[in-house]
Amino acid sequence: MQDDTPATSGQRPWQEILLNRRMVTCIFQGLASGMPLYVLIQLVPAWLRSEGIDLATIGLFNLVMLPYTWKFLWAPLLDRYQLPFLGRRRGWTLLSQVLLLGSIGMLGTVNPGTNLQAAMYLVFAVALFSATQDIVLDAYRRELLADDELGTGNSLFINAYRLSSLVPGSLALILSDFMPWSAVYWIVAGFMVVGIATTAMVAETGSRALAPTSLRDAVIEPFHEFFQRDGVRSALAVLGFMLLYKLGDNMATALSTPFYLDLGFSRTEIGTVAKFAGLGGSIAGAALGGLAMLRLSINRALWIFGMIQVVSILGFAALARVGQNIYLLFGVVGFEYIGVGLGTVALTAYMAKQTNIRFTATQFALLTSLTAVPRTLANASTGFIVEAVGYFQFFLICTVVAVPGLLLLFWVAPWNGKQKVDEAPQPSSPS
C-alpha cells in the first residue's frame, strides 16, 4: 500500500496557478460531466415517482447505470484509438456529448407508466454516454494540468460538477410543476451545449505521445502495473476500500427525492430548499476539505471526513422520525452534503495517488468504476429495504453499512502512514 506524506508542491504564485485558461476549462468540463449523472440520480427518480412507479422499481433502475461501474472495460479503447476529428481526447468527448444531448431529450418522449422498458433503455443510454464522457474528461484533465495545478483544477472541477445539479435537481423539478415532462427533458438536454462548446474551443492535449502503441498494451499494462506495484493483496485492499468507503452514504441518498416526496414535501419545496441545501453543503464541504487538506495528510483526511459522513446519515433517520419539517429538511440535507463534499475531496486525492501517469485513463476509470458500484448494484436493493422496514430503520442500516469502509483505513491509509512521492514522468501542460 502506498504511504501518505504530502508531495512537494511547486513554487509558482497562487495567482499564476488559479488565473489561467486551464482552470476555466476545468469549470466548464465539470458542468458537462456532472449534469448527466444528476439527471439519472435526481430527475429520473422524481419523474418515475410522479408517474406512479413504485419504489422497488425505481430502485431497480439503478441497475441500468452499470456503465459507470464497468467503464474501465472500454477505457483502453479510448486510450488506444482516435476518431478522425478533433484529436484523441476531444473527438471522443464531442461524440459522447452529442449523444448525451439526444438521449436526455428523448427521455421526455416516453411515458414510463405505459412503456417502462423504453424508459429503461434510454436511461441506460444516458449512463453509457455519460460514463464514456467521464473517462475522456478525466484523462484530458490529468494531461492538461501541471503537477502544481492538480489540486486547484480538480477542486474547481468537483465544485462545478456539483453546481450542475441545479439543472436536473432544481430547475427541472420546478419546471415540471408547470410544464410537461417532454419539454422539461429537452430544456435539460440543451445544457449539454455548454460542454459541446467547451470541447470545440479548447486545444487538444499532447496526449498522443502517451498513447499505447498496441491494443494489448492499452488493455493489459495498466492492470499489470496496478497489481504488481505493491502486490496483489495491497491492490485488492485498495479496490475494496474504493467500493466500501462511500457505500452507506450512497445508499442513504439513493432514494432521497422519493423520500422527500413521501414525507409530504412538494416538488417545488424539494427543488428549492432540499436541492439548494444539498448544493450549498456539497460546495462548502469541498471547499472546507480543500482548505483542511493544506494541513492534513490524505490519510488523516480520509479518517476524519469518513467519520463525518457516517454521522451525517443519522440526520436522515431523524427527519424520517420527525416527518415534514422544512427547517429540519434544510439542516439535514445541508449537513449530509457537507459530509459528501468532504469525503469526495479526500477520496479523489487518494485515487490520484493510486494512478500511474502512463495509464491514467484506464486506472482512474477502474477506481471510479468501483466508487460507482454503490449507485448501481447496492442501490438497486434500497427500494425493497425501505418497503420492508421503513425509512427510519433503513437509514440506521445505511449507518451500519458505512462502518466497514472506515475499518479498511487501518490497512490502506493508516493514521500515521507516510506516502511515497511517485517518480513517474509527468506530461507537460499546454497553456
Q: Please give the domain boundaries of the chain with CATH numbers for all domains.
A: 14-412 (1.20.1250.20)
Write down the pLDDT at residue 50. 82
Which of left, alpha, beta for 426 (phi over 0: left; psi -120 to 50: alpha)?
beta
Q: What are phi and psi of 360, to 5 degrees?
A: -60, -45
Which pLDDT belongs to residue 350? Answer: 81
Q: Looking at residue 431, what is its pLDDT?
A: 33
Q: Which residue, among 285, 27, 276, has the nearest Cα to 166 in the 3D structure?
A: 276
Task: Give the integer Cα–Cα distance in Å for 23 and 155.
Answer: 10
Q: How far apart are the first and last CA of the chain?
A: 35
Q: What pLDDT does 424 receive?
A: 38
| Residues 6+ away with beta carbon under 8 Å from 263 | 319, 320, 323, 324
pLDDT of residue 21: 83
Q: Tell me the C-alpha to C-alpha distance, in Å, between residue 38 and each of 127, 169, 173.
A: 11, 7, 12
Residue 69, amino acid? T
Cβ neighbours, 10 Å, residue 113: 11
Buried b (16+ CB within 10 A) or exposed e, 362-380: bbbbbbbbbbbbbbbebbb
Question: Which of the 8 DSSP states describes residue 330?
Answer: H
3-class SS at 369?
helix
| Cβ-contact 247, 374 below 8 angstroms | yes
CA distances from 207 to 210, 216, 351, 426 (A): 5, 18, 20, 11
Read off φ and ψ for residue 379, nearest 5 degrees: -70, -20
Cα gap 310→253, rounded to integer Å = 12
> Cα torsion at 234, 236, 239, 241 (round to 10°)?
-70
Of 263, 233, 191, 216, the residue nearest 362 (C-alpha): 216
Sign of CA dihedral 169, 173, 179, 182: positive
Q: Amino acid identity of 160?
A: A
Give the Cβ contact number of residue 135 at 10 Å.
27
Residue ranges of the chain with per-residue pLDDT less than 70: 1-19, 146-152, 206-211, 213, 290-291, 293-294, 357-358, 372, 374-379, 417-431
Tracing cell 476555466 back to the chain, one arrives at 24
Give me the sign of the Cα torsion angle 202, 206, 210, 211: positive
Q: What's the confidence (pLDDT) of residue 206?
A: 61
Task: Compute how many other C-beta atoms are within 10 angstroms of the C-beta atom of residue 330.
Answer: 18
Could you tell me which of 282, 299, 300 has the C-alpha nearest to residue 339? 282
CA of 308: how far to CAs of 3, 342, 349, 391, 426, in Å? 23, 8, 18, 21, 34
How many residues are there in the chain? 431
